[in-house]
Amino acid sequence: MSGEEVLQNADGRMRKAVDVLKHELATVRTGRANPGLVEHIQVEYHGVQVPLNQIAGISTPDPRMLVIQPWDKTVLPNIEKAILKSDLGLNPANDGNIIRLPIPQLTEERRNQLVKMVRKRVEEGKVAVRNVRRDAVDGLRKLKDNREISEDEQKRLMTKLQQLTDKFIEETDRIAKNKETELLEF
> What's the CATH code of the domain at 18?
1.10.132.20
Q: Are 12 and 87 in contact (CB under 8 A)?
A: no
Q: How far is Cα 82 from Cα 69, in angstroms, rounded to an integer? A: 15
Could you tell me the CA-to-CA distances from 90 to 37, 41, 105, 167 in Å, in that order? Answer: 11, 12, 11, 37
Whether the Cβ atoms of residue 169 and residue 16 lie closer than 8 Å to each other: no
Calculate the average pLDDT of the chain: 89
Top-confidence residue, 151 or 113: 151
Looking at the structure, tell me whether residues 86 and 178 fall in a common domain. no
Judge whether residue 165 has pLDDT over 90.
yes
Mean pLDDT of 25-50: 83
Structural domains counted in the chain: 2
Flag whether pLDDT at 2 surpasses 80: yes
Q: Given a cut of 80, is residue 154 above it in pLDDT?
A: yes
- Residue 97's domain comprises 35-102
So what's the pLDDT on residue 25? 84
Alpha-carbon distances of 174 from 18, 35, 62, 113, 124, rounded to whole Å: 11, 22, 27, 20, 15
The Cα 142–Cα 132 span in angstroms is 15
The verdict on 141 and 179 lying in the same domain is: yes
* pLDDT value at 30 more than 70: no
Residues in the chain: 186
DSSP 99: E
pLDDT grade, residue 18 (50/70/90)?
very high
- Of 63-72, 86-95, 128-137, 153-162, least confident by mean pLDDT is 86-95
Tell me the pLDDT band of 117, cut-offs 50, 70 and 90. Answer: confident
Q: Are residues 114 and 179 in the same domain?
A: yes
Residue 126: its pLDDT value, please? 96
